Chain A
Amino acid sequence: MIRKRIVIVNKLGMHARPATLVVKTATKYRSEFTILKDDMEINGKSIMGVMTLAAEFGSELELVADGVDEEYLIKEMEELFASKFGEE
């Protein structure tokens, strides 16, 4: 199991489009993927779950991957968040 802390760096926060990207990326892998924010813990492969976080600009998330390809999943997630989902 890998845990990784991450900060939302795009101005608009995790709205519908980034949330879709996160879910689409996560479903490519076989590992379980969970996202934690404040007291929330959601399934990172569920679009409603990810949007429920309403993760705004500057907020902190904890990504948890568990499974055979967990390292690759986390690595791609880090890159995705760092790329600001292709936004500002």
Chain B
Amino acid sequence: MKKISVKEFFQTKKIDFSLSLITRPTTLDKDITSEYLNRPGLAFSGFFERFSYQRIQVLGETEITYLQSLKDEELYNIIKEVFVYDIPCLIITKGLSIPSQMEFLANEMNIAILSSRISTDKLYQQLRKYLSDYFAPSKTIHGTLVDVYGVGILLTGKSGIGKSECALDLVERGQRLVTDDAVKITVIDEMLMGTSTNDYGHFMEVRGVGLIDAAKMFGIQAVRRNKRMDVQIELMPWKDNMDYERLGLSDNFAEILGVRIPIIYLPVSPGKNVSVIIEVVALNYILKRYGYDAAYEYTQKLQEDLKKKSSVKNSEHAK
């Protein structure tokens, strides 16, 4: 399971979430293992059933005001009771000041308290976004990702089939390269987002030439950093007896990290202009999204035609 230490979280996100550390640095050694947040109001009032202690605990004005309303002894006891749980860290919003007992007990019981200057609502949203991205399922696959007329197309297929050459050709035609050879895929909001595995830039290997920098060579308009993947196209060597799609009435799907996207098996043979076909795939995908399915329209027309002709025949027989 994925995790991030409170220390790493604090150091990398200090500025984004305008965080500062209230407790001693030694309290930072726990791990965050959940992408969710918790408001521990009920726990502080003594209700511990279903207390999601393993999440980051966010305390806003409500919680702090409540705690300040308690008598010293009551306050001490309830905080101690809450801190017995293995909490990764607490975040106080709006830069509110906390009761001194709380700071004391947190240091004693080794729980980090961070303070953020952001308001509870805003912090909650930003933190949830950050955590869900961080904990999102991801994997890296062999392939090339291009943006063709705004449609994210993942090109896959065996080494040497011509994915990079195809991407180059598409870039020449005004399309945009996201990444070549290795695509890092992350699931965000049930969609597959693809990006490069590193941030070196848009380098690619062209067989027989070596490495090239697509952004330098074709300009900044020829590249982009990340893209939602809409369609997978598997390039494969042409085989005579293979059952290729002829009408396109039925869609095949590929499943990546539990998300289904349409997949097209595209036969490649020498002299065939694959880039044009890929552009056609992208445009047809857009048309389908707008509710126009060429295969369906054509076959509907054919069916009506056949019906009309056979009914004319039947009425002739009747005479």
Contact = CB atoms under 8 A, between A and B. Distances in A.
A36 interface: no
B305 interface: yes
A4 interface: no
Contacts of B247: 16, 20, 47
B298 interface: yes
B310 A51 contact: no
Given A15-B299, A24-B243, A54 B306 contact: yes
A14 B299 CA distance: 11
Given A15-B299, A15-B302, A16-B249, A57 B310 contact: yes
A75 interface: no
Identify which of A15, A24, A28 gathers the most chain B CB atoms within 10 Å of its CB.
Answer: A15
A14 B247 CA distance: 14
A12 B303 CA distance: 8
B309 A56 contact: yes
A56 B306 CA distance: 5
A58 interface: yes
Interface in B276-319: 295, 298-299, 302-303, 305-307, 309-310, 313
Nearest to B313: A58
A57 B295 CA distance: 22
A58 B295 CA distance: 25
Nearest to A50: B246
B241 interface: yes
Given A12-B303, A15-B302, A23-B246, A58 B241 contact: no
The SS class assigned to the A binding surface is: loop
A54 to B, nearest CB: 5
Given A56-B309, A57-B310, A58-B313, A51 B298 contact: yes
Contacts, number: 49
A27 B240 CA distance: 8
Interface string B228-263: 000000000000010100110100000000000000
A15 B310 contact: no
Contacts of B243: 24
Interface string A29-66: 00000000000000000010001001111110000000
A16 B313 CA distance: 21
Contacts of B302: 15-16, 51, 54
B299 A57 contact: no
A12 B247 CA distance: 18
Contact of A12 (B241, B249, B298, B306): B306
B76 to A, nearest CB: 77
Interface string A1-21: 000000000011111100010
Contacts of A20: 246-247
A68 B243 CA distance: 22
B309 to A, nearest CB: 4
A15 B306 contact: yes
A11 B310 CA distance: 8
Identify which of A13, A16, A24, A28 gathers the most chain B CB atoms within 10 Å of its CB.
Answer: A16
A58 to B, nearest CB: 6
B248 to A, nearest CB: 10
Contacts of A28: 241
A15 B246 contact: no
B246 A47 contact: yes
Given A15-B299, A51-B298, A57 B246 contact: no
Q: 9 tightest CB-CB pairs across the interface, nearest first? A: A13-B306, A16-B299, A56-B309, A57-B310, A47-B246, A56-B310, A56-B306, A54-B305, A15-B303
9 contacts: A11-B310, A13-B307, A13-B310, A15-B302, A56-B305, A56-B307, A56-B309, A56-B313, A58-B313
